[in-house]
Amino acid sequence: MNFADILASLIHDMKNSLGLVINTIDDLGEELQVHENPKLGTLQHEARRLNDNLIALLSLYKIDKGQLSTNIEEIDVEQFLYEISVDNQATANHLGITINYESEEGLVGYFDEWLMRGVINSLIGNGLRYSSSQILIHAASVDGYLVLSIDDDGDGFPQNMIDAQTAQQHKKPQQGETQLGHYFASLVAHMHSNGEREGYIKLANNQRLGGGCFSIWLP
Partner 1 sequence: MFFKPGLLENRLYLVVDDFGDMRSMMKNMLMACGVREIQLARNGNEAIELMEQERFDVVLCDYNLGAGRDGQQVLEEAKYRHLMGLGSVFVMVTAENTRDMVMGAVEYEPDSYLTKPFNKDFLKTRLEKLIAKKHDLLAIEEAVEKRNYTKAVAILDEKIAAKPANCNELRKIKGNILLNSGKLNEAKTLYQEVLAIRELPWARLGLGKCNYLAQDFQQAIDEFQRIKSQNPNYTPAYDWLARSHKRANQLSEAEDILKEAVSISPKAVPRQQLLGEIALVNQHQDIAESAFTKAVQHGRHSVYKHPANYANLARVTADNHDGPSALQVLKQIDKDFSKDPKADFYQASAESLIHEAMGNSDLARASLEKAAELQKSFDQIEDSECAIELAKTYKNFGMEEECVELMKGAILNNHTDEELMDEIKLTISSLEMDEQTLGTIDSIREEVFALNRKGVELAKSGQLDEAAELLKETSTRMPANRTVNLNIALVLLMSMEREGPSPGMIDEIKGYLARVAKADPNNTTLQKLYGRLKTMLSKTSDSSEQSREKT
Residues near partner 1 (CB under 8 A): 12, 15-16, 18-20, 22-23, 26-27, 30, 51, 55, 58, 67, 69, 71-72, 74, 76, 78-79, 82-83, 86-87, 89-90, 106-108, 110, 114, 117, 194-195
List the beta bridge partners of residue 99: 135
Minimum Å gap between C-beta 177 and partner 1 is: 23
Minimum Å gap between C-beta 81 and partner 1 is: 11
Of the candidates 2, 99, 83, the one whose C-alpha atom is nearest the C-alpha of residue 41 is 99
DSSP 203: E
Minimum Å gap between C-beta 86 and partner 1 is: 4
Contact in structure between 219 and 198 (CB atoms under 8 Å): yes
Of the candidates 57, 141, 52, 39, the one whose C-alpha atom is nearest the C-alpha of residue 88 is 52
Which CB sits closer to partner 1, 107 or 180? Answer: 107
The bridge status of strand 134-142 relative to strand 145-152 is: antiparallel
Which CB sits closer to partner 1, 55 or 203? Answer: 55
Minimum Å gap between C-beta 70 and partner 1 is: 8
Which CB sits closer to partner 1, 142 or 167? Answer: 142
CB neighbours of 99 closer than 8 A, spacing ≥ 6?
85, 88, 89, 92, 124, 134, 135, 136, 137
DSSP 213: E
Amino acid at position 39, single letter: K
Which CB sits closer to partner 1, 176 or 195? Answer: 195
Question: CA 13 to CA 160: how far, in whole Å?
Answer: 38
Minimum Å gap between C-beta 166 and partner 1 is: 30
Which CB sits closer to partner 1, 101 or 183? Answer: 101
End-to-end CA distance of the chain: 39
Which CB sits closer to partner 1, 83 or 198? Answer: 83
Degrees to nearest 5, angle at CA 99 with 95 and 100: 165
Minimum Å gap between C-beta 97 and partner 1 is: 16
